């Protein structure tokens, strides 16, 4: 069995915390994949802080790590799509640079897809570093969900967000879902190639929702609770006006494409 993964970076070593998270993610993900032929691509979007060079230098002895240097910031989906023609794996993983893994989550999710031929895409249980549940979409976006996501102070007890994240379902068992967060998911490589990867008209945000909608037309998406990852989740678009505008633009592109 062969698997591949991709982390897209931008200014990921601009602080000690970001650098630690990225380096630990790369080290742990590749370290736990001992029983799988695994390659991890780090695609850097021309980071001014020298992310690509630092990753390349630090992991020069790790043959599983391949660094791609971009000459400009291509955004999230387009950068992930760059390696489509490079990968020859059975299963491919989209991974954020702030993901923490504590065991062979890649192997667990590969095994699930291997055993369930109707499953084209998988999502693990995604939690905060302290173990709290992250309220992330498992249903397709609706305006009421997005409004609640922006305005709700108590995410776990907001009825719209509970519905959005399917928190009232039995999440101790595998569950078919509509949506998988782009912070970490796995997909059959053949399927990823057939659908052309992400729609690169999104610079950032909503490209994962869009991809999931496309996958659901030809395959199934499953939540697999036996696989757990921990996500730092900065929610930068709530604090940065430029990113907030990008988020709004992506929201409109999504609903214009798929309908309100």
pLDDT grade for 239, boundaries at 50, 70 and 90: low
What does the pLDDT look like over 132-180, one tens digit per residue? 999 999 999 999 999 999 888 888 899 999 999 999 999 999 999 999 9
Instruction: Report pLDDT for 154.
Output: 87
What's the CA gap between 52 and 250, in Å, rounded?
A: 27
**Cβ proximity of 243 and 215 under 8 Å:** no
pLDDT grade for 233, boundaries at 50, 70 and 90: confident
pLDDT grade for 256, boundaries at 50, 70 and 90: very high
Indicate if the pLDDT at residue 241 is higher than 90.
no
Greatest extent of the chain over all pairs of C-alpha atoms, in Å: 49
Least confident of 147-156, 181-190, 191-200: 147-156
What's the CA gap between 33 and 19, in Å, rounded?
A: 21
Instruction: Report pLDDT for 234.
Output: 66
Domain boundaries, the chain: 2-258
Indicate if the pLDDT at residue 237 is higher than 60.
no
CATH superfamily assigned to domain 2-258: Spore Coat Polysaccharide Biosynthesis Protein SpsA; Chain A (3.90.550.10)
Looking at the chain, the whole-number percentage of residues with pLDDT higher than 70 is 98
What does the pLDDT look like over 38-84, one tens digit per residue? 999 999 999 999 999 999 999 999 999 999 999 999 999 999 999 99
Quote the pTM value: 0.95
């Amino acid at each position: 069995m062969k698997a591949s993964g991709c982390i897209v970076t931008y200014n990921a070593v601009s602080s000690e915390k970001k650098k630690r998270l990225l380096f630990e993610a790369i080290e742990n993900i590749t370290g736990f994949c001992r029983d799988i032929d695994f390659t991890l691509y780090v695609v850097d979007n021309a980071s001014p802080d020298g992310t690509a060079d630092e990753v390349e230098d630090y992991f020069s002895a790790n043959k599983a790590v391949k660094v791609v240097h971009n000459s400009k910031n291509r955004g999230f989906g387009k950068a992930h799509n760059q390696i489509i023609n490079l990968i020859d794996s059975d299963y491919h993983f989209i991974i954020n640079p702030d993901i923490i893994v504590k065991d062979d989550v890649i192997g667990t999710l590969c095994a699930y897809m291997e055993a369930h031929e109707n499953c084209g895409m998988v999502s693990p249980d995604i939690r905060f570093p302290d173990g709290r549940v992250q309220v992330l979409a498992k249903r397709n976006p609706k305006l009421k969900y997005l409004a609640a996501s922006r305005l709700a102070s108590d995410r776990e007890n907001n009825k719209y967000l509970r519905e959005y994240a399917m928190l009232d379902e039995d999440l101790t068992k595998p569950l078919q879902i509509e949506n998988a967060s782009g912070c970490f998911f796995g997909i059959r490589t053949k399927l990823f190639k057939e659908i052309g990867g992400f729609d690169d008209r999104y610079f950032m945000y909503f490209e994962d929702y869009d991809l999931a909608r496309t996958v659901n037309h030809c395959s199934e998406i499953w939540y697999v609770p036996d696989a757990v990852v921990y996500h730092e989740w900065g929610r930068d678009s709530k604090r940065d006006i430029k990113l907030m505008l990008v988020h709004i633009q992506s929201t409109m592109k999504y609903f214009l494409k798929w309908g309100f």
